[in-house]
Amino acid sequence: MRVKDPRIVAALPELGVELRPGTSLAELTSLGIGGTTDLLRITKHDAIPELLNLLDSEAVPYKFLGGGSNLLVGDHELPWLVLQLVSPDPDIVLEGRFAQVDAAADLGRTVTFCAKNDLGGMEGLIGVPGTVGGALRMNAGAYGMQIGSYVRQVKLYRAARRRLETLEGDQISFEYRHTSFAPDDMMLAVKLELPSKPYREIIKGIRICNEKRRASQPLGQKSAGCIFKNPPGASAGRMIDELGLKGLHVGDARVSDRHANFFVNAGKASAKDMLTLIADVRERVQKSFGVILDHEVVVWNA
Ligand SMILES: Cc1cc2nc3c(=O)[nH]c(=O)nc-3n(C[C@H](O)[C@H](O)[C@H](O)COP(=O)(O)OP(=O)(O)OC[C@H]3O[C@@H](n4cnc5c(N)ncnc54)[C@H](O)[C@@H]3O)c2cc1C
């Protein structure tokens, strides 16, 4: 989709928004799949209500992009704009055991920055790519922990009320890869409360998690992490593996040989290839185990 409306084009500089026309989402997502659209890069949180009112008044559809590490985006020209926050400098400010972090901040860098200041708890998130905003939306987690446990406050744009708001941690529910945020809420910043721990101890935990990832995940290949959520009490990867589906492929979309719940783009996979592979695996799991797998990957398809 192209921003053509002269009223919108003229307003963008004043709102601190940079327009990048015809951006390829394949280049902004870890799967390396996706068509093109205009990208709006937002530098001022305060301008967001005005920007979104303007887009809504002209009925221009849009989606929020974080680091693109949990997304499968459709092929060809996309029928909506993409909005992305630009990280301010600094994007993390510490105050005692609290870390005030911008949603555009890189998650891995946030974990190591806090570690260097003797704040731990998030060791399991090392190696989870993407932004802090994406991690909040997804309630990212691994190795027995999830980011939601440390959230004390979230600053967000609430589309339903068309205004910026601050929610306290106990007003938000964080479940396995699911949160109570509305689908059109836009996370802007978070206050985390983290346990004090000596740096040496945190680094030890980080190394263990890194080794576990290296041993089990196809880290050198293009993926979006796990494609399916684990059903209660079971492992999606184990079920797919038990069916002998590692290596199954549609074009260059392939079930990883290393981790059966990671589907990789081994070359020039299209969204259509990947969606066909996902539907095929889902159907085989349902037939054999009677379990309907839910997507963990977020699909943006026209
Ligand atoms: C190799 C690899 C390993 C991974 N391992 C893990 C793991 O161990 N655990 C885990 O939980 N995940 C894992 N993931 C998945 C992914 O990294 C996480 O889900 C991550 O938190 C997504 O963040 P992102 O910024 O990339 O979000 P994106 O992929 O950009 O977006 C994901 C969703 O969040 C929304 N979103 C993003 N930013 C905002 C915002 N500011 N406001 C509102 N909505 C927003 C998007 O609209 C979209 O719906 C892995 C991915 C890869 C590639």
Give me the pLDDT at residue 73, please. Answer: 98
Let me know if 177 is a catalytic residue: yes
Within 13 Å, how many C-alpha atoms sit on residue 129's CB side? 16
Six-digit token string for 10 = 């003229």
Tens of pLDDT, residue by residue over 98-146, are: 999 999 999 999 999 999 999 999 999 999 999 999 999 999 999 999 9
Q: Are 165 and 156 in contact (CB under 8 A)?
A: yes
* Closest residue by CA, ligand 1 atom 45: 134
Give me the pLDDT at residue 204, please. Answer: 97
Tens of pLDDT, residue by residue over 170-191, are: 999 999 999 999 999 999 999 9
Task: Determine if the pTM surpasses 0.95.
Answer: yes
Mean pLDDT (whole number) for 248-271: 98
- Domain ranges (residues) in the chain: 6-85, 92-215, 219-300
Q: Ligand 1 centroid vs 221 CA: distance in angstroms?
A: 17
Let me know if 209 is a catalytic residue: no
Classify the phi-psi angles of 96: left when phi > 0, otherwise alpha if psi is within -120 to 50, otherwise beta: left
Handedness of CA 54, 57, 62, 65 (dihedral sign): positive
* Closest residue by CA, ligand 1 atom 23: 134
Q: Ligand 1 centroid vs 67 CA: distance in angstroms?
A: 7
237 pLDDT above the threshold of 90: yes
Among the listed residues 177, 209, 254, 282, the single catalytic one is 177
What does CATH list as the number for 92-215? 3.30.465.10
Instruction: Report the run of H or E that residue 189 belongs to, with start and end.
Output: strand 186-193
- Regarding the beta carbon of 133 and ligand 1, being less than 6 Å apart is answered yes
Q: Ligand 1 centroid vs 130 CA: distance in angstroms?
A: 6
* Closest residue by CA, ligand 1 atom 50: 225
- Regarding the beta carbon of 148 and ligand 1, being less than 6 Å apart is answered no
Q: Are 250 and 273 in contact (CB under 8 A)?
A: yes
Please give the C-alpha separations between residue 10 and each of 52, 64, 115, 189, in angstroms, as whole numbers.
15, 22, 44, 28
Give me the pLDDT at residue 144, please. Answer: 92
Residue 69 and residue 65: Cα distance in Å, rounded?
Answer: 10
DSSP 69-127: SSEEE-SSB-SSEEEEEPPPSS-EEEETTEEEEETTSBHHHHHHHHHHTTB-S-GGGTT
302 pLDDT above the threshold of 80: no
Measured in degrees and rounded to the nearest 5, phi and psi for residue 153 equal -155, 145
**Cis peptide bond N-terminal to 90, omega within 30:** yes
Residue type, 246: K
Residue type, 33: I
Q: Are 77 and 35 in contact (CB under 8 A)?
A: yes
Q: Ligand 1 centroid vs 219 CA: distance in angstroms?
A: 16
Residue type, 132: V
Mean pLDDT (whole number) for 238-248: 98
72 pLDDT above the threshold of 80: yes
For 59, counting Cβ atoms within 10 Å of its Cβ (0-12 exposed, 13-18 middle, 19+ buried), the class is: exposed
Percent of the chain at pLDDT above 70?
A: 100
CATH architecture entry for 219-300: Alpha-Beta Complex (3.90)
- Regarding the beta carbon of 179 and ligand 1, being less than 6 Å apart is answered no
In the predicted model, what is the mean pLDDT of the chain? 97
Q: Give the residue, out of 45, 102, 138, with the most ligand 1 atoms within 8 A of its beta carbon, to mutate for a pocket test.
A: 138
Among the listed residues 114, 123, 254, 296, the single catalytic one is 296
Instruction: Kindly give the number of the ligand 1 atom that is closest to the alpha carbon of 219.
Output: 1
Instruction: Kindly give the number of the ligand 1 atom that is closest to the alpha carbon of 30.
Output: 53
Give me the pLDDT at residue 111, please. Answer: 98
Q: Are 67 and 131 in contact (CB under 8 A)?
A: yes
Q: Which CATH number fits domain 6-85: 3.30.590.20, 3.30.43.10, 1.10.1740.10, 3.40.50.10860?
A: 3.30.43.10
Tens of pLDDT, residue by residue over 2-52, are: 999 999 999 999 999 999 999 999 999 999 999 999 999 999 999 999 999
